[in-house]
Amino acid sequence: MNDEPDNVILKLSHVRRVYSEGERDLVVLESCDFSLKRGELVALVAPSGTGKSTLLHLAGLLEKPDSGEVHVSGLATRGMPDIKRTALRRDEIGFVYQFHHLLPEFTATENLVLPQMIRGISKSEAKKRAGELLEFMRISERGEHRPAELSGGEQQRVAIARAVANAPNILLADEPTGNLDPDTSLHVFHALETLVRSAGLAALLATHNHDLARRADRCVTLDHGRVVALDL
């Protein structure tokens, strides 16, 4: 069942993803292969509309490929029952969106506590970890504020902290600094990078920012629906 080398934590094999658009089909990914190793930070740099979000959604088990396979932690996911896919996503994957997607009615701390409690962690333990993560992201003083009371950079720091609240092995980030000014982007990226490095996470990060992408272990792009190496 687990036939991957130990260090490959995410693998897309021959993935095809097509969107039906009325008469014709839009082939976004075709014969797409990609592997991410434990502890590796990879930047995905490609123009708008080339399929970055599609790739991340497939990797994050938020969508299914039309053909091909997505392995997460050595497990083939395409034929998995939904309940198992959901559990695997919850246990193994953290996702950061361009817009924070935090729950507006809850404070920053509560946004970190809730996913942990859903996973069965006690409230006191969840609160402790939330506090540690907010401190790590240098926003502990904003913990009792709701998202609307936070700046864009603070919102993204909370969103990153939330993505790792359940200690996933894989972090997927879809243009996490795309909505921020250059200085704030740099700060948020540094925080994300430090977190990824210190937790030994594998991370795939879509970004348009070449300066940030160069800080990754390697860069890839999308070319006619395939992932190819990119020299920045």
Task: Supply the minimum distance, in Å, between the C-beta of residue 52 and Mg ion.
Answer: 5
Judged by CB under 5 A, the stretch of 32-40, 49-57, 87-95, 186-194 that binds Mg ion is 49-57
Q: What's the rounded Cα separation, in Å, for the pair 59 and 93?
A: 9
Q: Is 228 in the site for ligand ADP (CB under 6 A)?
A: no
Task: Supply the minimum distance, in Å, between the C-beta of residue 197 and ligand ADP.
Answer: 25
Q: Is 221 in the site for Mg ion (CB under 5 A)?
A: no
Q: Is 221 in the site for ligand ADP (CB under 6 A)?
A: no
* Residue 108 · residue 143 · CB < 8 Å: yes
Using CB under 6 A, which of 15, 40, 45, 50 touches ligand ADP?
50
End-to-end distance of the chain based on CA atoms, in angstroms? Answer: 37
Q: Is 53 in the site for Mg ion (CB under 5 A)?
A: yes
Q: Nearest-CA neighbor of 14 among 29, 28, 27, 33?
A: 33
Residue 104 site contact among ligand ADP, Mg ion, none (CB < 5 to 8 Å, cut-off depends on kind): none
Q: Is 232 in the site for ligand ADP (CB under 6 A)?
A: no
Task: Supply the minimum distance, in Å, between the C-beta of residue 153 and ligand ADP.
Answer: 22
For residue 183, which phi and psi values (nearest 5 degrees)?
A: -65, -45
User: Quick one: CA torsion of 147, 118, 10, 157, rounded to 10 degrees?
Assistant: 20
6-18 core/surface letters (b: 16 or more CB in 10 A; e: else): eebbbbbeebebe
Site for ligand ADP in 7-36 (CB under 6 A): 19, 26, 28
Structure-block tokens of residue 79: 């034929």
Q: Is 169 in the site for Mg ion (CB under 5 A)?
A: no
Judged by CB under 6 A, the stretch of 33-41, 43-51, 77-85, 194-202 that binds ligand ADP is 43-51
Q: What's the rounded Cα separation, in Å, for the pair 107 and 165?
A: 15
Judged by CB under 6 A, the stretch of 46-54, 71-79, 165-173, 192-200 that binds ligand ADP is 46-54
Let me know if 30 is exposed, middle or buried by CB neighbors in 10 A (0-12, 13-18, 19+): middle
Q: Is 54 in the site for ligand ADP (CB under 6 A)?
A: yes
The site for ligand ADP (CB under 6 A) is made up of: 19, 26, 28, 46, 48-54
